């Protein structure tokens, strides 16, 4: 995984609608330098951070819910982020806040609100069973999706197009602002999940046996939901919703690496980052010079993978 991650980091920035060579970079051409250092390198780094965060979140949620179809968007966090973004797009005259576009800030706040609701449910006595919490997240996600459709119905054609385009997900960035924003959230998620690795391993045997072995289920639930919500909310704010990465990558790596989270968590960080960077490379080259939103490509891959997962589960 480390070798694949490093190879992707070195090769992906060179490829695109215009293929760059080492000679082009050493030529001193200002245009080539701008394309490479200001557009492609930040984009690849953002893809690697976002893909790693999505894969780690998907792994943690699949373990927590003991459901192979759980992924970061199951709990409605992306739905809350999308609702915040479309509300910001609907309101005219919004500029920037905290150095980011108002849409990104509103998206992050929407994810934070939904995350607070989910964590509140997890702390309350109404959702003692994890499956109930999963159903609550699905209900929140459906409610947010309905409100997004309502806002789109009220918007004019231009705003509706911007809303739809944002919800497709994308990694088009200029500079390193988004990379520096997402980096601490991804590192926080990696460290937190590694600290919880033994509890996650015990949870694979079932909640009752895990509790009998000393696992504080409430603390584990809050830790996993909190860190997954933080990572997903932070990345959706700058990339838009990019689905299925958190579903595909953990399942593939679990077959190769095994179930031990001590190895599986860093493998998801590296493998998820390389996977999304490669998908983004395909998205910006398959229709070159036009670009396909990477969220569309991951969705096209995720649908057949869902079906394969269901068929393999029956077998």
Q: How far is CA 209 from CA 31, 60, 222, 307, in A?
A: 61, 18, 19, 31
| pLDDT tens track for 105-146 | 888 889 889 888 888 887 776 555 677 778 888 888 899 999
φ and ψ at residue 97, rounded to 5 degrees? -145, 130
Q: What is the pTM of this model?
A: 0.91
Question: Is the CA virtual torsion 83, 87, 90, 93 positive or negative?
Answer: negative
> What is the Cα 122 distance to its own chain's centre?
22
13-53 pLDDT tens trace: 999 888 888 888 888 788 899 999 999 999 999 999 999 99
Mean pLDDT value of segment 239-256? 90
- What pairs with residue 266 in β-bridges? none
Mean pLDDT of the chain: 88
pLDDT, tens digit, 9 for 90 and up, residues 31-40: 899 999 999 9
**pLDDT top residue among 309 and 62:** 62
Contacts of 204 (CB under 8 A, 6+ apart): 63, 66, 259
- Say what the pLDDT of residue 125 is: 61
């Amino acid at each position: 995984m480390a070798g694949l991650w490093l190879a992707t980091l070195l090769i992906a920035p060179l490829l695109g609608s215009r293929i760059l060579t080492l000679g082009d970079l050493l030529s001193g051409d200002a245009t080539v330098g701008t394309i490479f250092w200001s557009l492609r390198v930040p984009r690849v780094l953002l893809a690697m951070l976002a893909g790693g965060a999505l894969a780690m979140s998907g792994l943690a949620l699949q373990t927590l819910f003991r459901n192979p179809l759980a992924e970061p968007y199951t709990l409605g966090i992306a739905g809350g982020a999308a609702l915040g973004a479309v509300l910001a797009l609907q309101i005219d005259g919004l500029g920037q806040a905290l150095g980011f576009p108002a849409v990104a800030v509103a998206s992050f706040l929407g994810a934070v609100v939904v995350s607070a609701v989910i964590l509140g449910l997890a702390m309350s006595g109404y959702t003692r069973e994890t499956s109930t919490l999963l159903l609550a997240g699905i209900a929140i996600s459906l409610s947010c999706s309905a409100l997004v459709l309502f806002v789109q119905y009220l918007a004019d054609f231009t705003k509706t197009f911007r809303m739809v385009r944002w919800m497709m997900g994308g990694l088009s960035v200029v500079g390193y602002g988004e990379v520096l924003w997402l980096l601490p959230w991804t590192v926080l998620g990696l460290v937190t999940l590694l600290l919880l690795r033994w509890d996650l391993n015990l949870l694979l045997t079932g909640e009752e046996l895990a509790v009998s072995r000393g696992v504080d289920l409430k603390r584990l639930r809050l830790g996993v939901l909190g860190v997954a919500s933080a990572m997903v909310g932070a990345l959706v704010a700058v990339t838009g919703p990019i689905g299925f990465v958190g579903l595909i990558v953990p399942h593939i790596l679990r077959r190769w690496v095994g179930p031990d989270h001590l190895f599986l968590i860093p493998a998801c960080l590296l493998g998820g980052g390389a996977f999304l960077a490669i998908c983004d490379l395909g998205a910006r080259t398959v229709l070159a010079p036009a670009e396909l939103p990477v969220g569309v490509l991951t969705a096209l891959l995720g649908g057949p993978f869902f079906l394969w997962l269901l068929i393999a589960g029956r077998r």
